[in-house]
Chains A and B, each alone.
Chain A
Amino acid sequence: MASPASAGKRASGWQRFKRDRFLLLLALPGVALVLLFQYVPMLGNVIAFKDYQPYLTITESPWVGFANFEVIFNGDPAFLNALRNTLIISFLQIAVVFPIPIALALLLNSLLSEKIKRVVQSILYLPHFMSWVIVVALFQHMLGNAGIYNNWARQHDFPQLNLIGDPDLFFALITSQAVWKDAGWGTIIFLAAISRVDLELFEAVAVDGGGRLRQLWHVTLPAIRSVVVLLLILKLGDVLTVGFEQIVLQQNQVGLETSEVLDTYVYNYGIVGGNWGVSAAVGLVKGLVGAILVLGANKVAHLFGERGIYSKW
């Protein structure tokens, strides 16, 4: 086998291809799977422009132009309802769920004992690895009407809590589940950013007479700023994507009025209801808007002098 060193830059494409054929062979299964399961479905989005009939193939189904998109642009009430709920949940995720890990990371970072810090971290990371089915089941059995809390509250004449199955409290329910599941795990990245700070910076603040609060304000917070911006950008790209599994699991109990979001709309309307073209159109628009939001937010981040999401590659 020719050594890459002797091939150098002047080797022709064919020679390099021949030289690297074994490496390319190794990449083949991965490339094939990515193409098949990531890129082929992107082509499948053409059915957004077709009247897809399950008994015909995709190519045989007739073209209908933009007819499927009418449900979006004519403001179909069910669609608008799903959009509204999605945006409300997204807003809650950015306003409530997002800052909690930052606060928790600052709290953990301020601990003096490394040992306690590690134990607490181990405990708080755990729920992240639980599936949504488990999280929903745990919430029901803890807070449901017959759950452990209400049981105890009934016996001790405490106010009962009807968090599960009440449409008015649905947003509170899924927000608290998201916090329970991922707040601890979310601290990882902020703690990592803090740990990379030069200790001398903290000492410099102390030498200048600043206490721990000043260290927090002048060193710790600036240190995590770029990570916060980065995660906010990514979050923004997901504005139209909100915890699908989590919501679908609990939809029966609260009804579609408050619990239908864009993803569940696509599922209920398309796969369950058989309106393939329309829900593919909704999914396509949703995906496009998400991509545009990420790219746009990244631009804004660059304007503010932040690294954004690309420089890491």
Chain B
Amino acid sequence: MVTDTKPRPKRSSPLLPGVARQRRRRTVNGAPVPNVAVRGVKGILLFLCCAVVLLPFVAVVSTSLADQEQITAAGGYVLWPTNPSFDAYAAIFRGGVVTRATLVSIGITLVGSALSVAVVALLAYSLSRPGTWGHRPILIMVLLTMLFNAGMIPNYLLIKELGLIDSYWALILPGLTSAFQVIIMRAFFMEVPKEIVDAARIDGASELQILTRIMLPLSKAVIAVIGLFNAVAYWSAFFNAVLYINSTEKWPLQLVLRTYVVDNTQIGTDLPGEVVPPQQSLQMAILVVSLIPICMVYPFLQRHFAKGVVIGAVKG
């Protein structure tokens, strides 16, 4: 059974137009398109996959916006808020634990990703210039970290010996370098034509000028992607905070999420003012707050980073 019976002159083979018109079969890469049943099953399968991914997000956002009445009537969660209100958000941002944690997370994310891009870009640039003194041992040293890592206890002891326990730096410093990101950026820098760099050098440009005037502007895309990727990593960092942060005031958002949403600790008492919104909405509002930044950068991330992963992994 062929689905499209309409003639499609555009699709017909330029070599044998008559044949194509007679058979009226659309082909892709030479083979005929599958029949209705196969296409239907595929469609249903993919629709279900997408629904399974999206439904939780819809329910979370809706419940965070719903009022007490509707939540009680629905028995806990709603899929569409009939009477949307931002009370839950107002309550968590009136100050108190969630507000503070959000600010902490924003700070760590901004500082961490900015520093991390700088460090990775400088290292990658230095390793991308051919014949630099010592670039081979440095490269190998960086690459080896992809194979081996020290383990949790020695890492913890290092942070402790450095006196970084309960400091924001414990969340930022260990994640600054990533061998994988250095490789991707280095590959990108190495693709800049040698002639441009040579021409600049003949014109009297210093290494710093070559980096800032030529390399960085030409690699804006990869820098943005590495930056975004680091931002997501810092925003999502959970375990370093569990290990290294003791005082509640310094908690990043992920720890607040764990305590109030995963472990179900009642949050009302930790919020200033009279808490009107139901527990459920508060929990979902915290969840949404932690989702928003990722959803904001997501369009850029998935478009570019898919490319980056492919460059890093398949290219060979």
- What residues of chain A have their CB less than 8 Å away from a CB belonging to chain B? 1, 3-5, 13, 16-17, 19-20, 22-24, 26-27, 29-31, 33-45, 47, 52, 57-58, 104, 107-108, 110-112, 116, 120-127, 129-134, 136-138, 140-142, 146-148, 151, 154-155, 180, 184, 188-189, 192-193, 196, 199, 202-203, 205-207, 210-212, 214-215, 227, 244-245, 248-249, 252, 263, 266-267, 270-271, 276, 279-280, 283-284, 286-287, 291, 294, 307, 311-313
Contact = CB atoms under 8 A, between A and B. Distances in A.
B147 to A, nearest CB: 6
B94 interface: no
A16 B287 contact: no
A116 B43 CA distance: 10
Contacts of A22: 206-208
B154 A280 contact: yes
Contacts of A205: 30-31
Given A131-B236, A131-B238, A24 B254 contact: no
Nearest to A125: B302
Given A104-B49, A313-B143, A111 B254 contact: no
17 contacts: A17-B134, A20-B133, A26-B207, A27-B138, A30-B182, A33-B173, A43-B154, A58-B161, A130-B236, A132-B238, A196-B314, A202-B31, A203-B29, A248-B239, A271-B153, A276-B153, A279-B153
A13 B133 contact: yes
A23 B207 contact: yes
B152 interface: yes
Interface string B158-188: 1001000000000001101100001000000
Contacts of B236: 129-134
Contacts of A137: 257, 261-262, 287
A188 B306 contact: yes
B196 interface: no
Contacts of B314: 189, 192-193, 196, 227
B223 interface: no
Contacts of A44: 150, 153-155, 157-158
Contacts of B53: 123-124, 126-127, 180, 184
A26 B208 CA distance: 9
A149 to B, nearest CB: 9
Contacts of B155: 37, 41, 44
Contacts of A108: 46
A214 B125 CA distance: 46
Given A36-B158, A133-B238, A284-B151, 17 more contacts: A30-B126, A34-B145, A44-B150, A47-B157, A58-B161, A127-B53, A131-B290, A133-B262, A189-B309, A192-B309, A244-B239, A245-B239, A271-B153, A280-B151, A280-B153, A291-B147, A291-B148
Contacts of A148: 59, 76-77
Most buried by A among B33, B54, B75, B120: B75
Most buried by B among A3, A34, A36: A34
Contacts of B148: 42, 287, 291
B65 to A, nearest CB: 15
Nearest to B256: A133
A74 to B, nearest CB: 20
B76 A134 contact: no
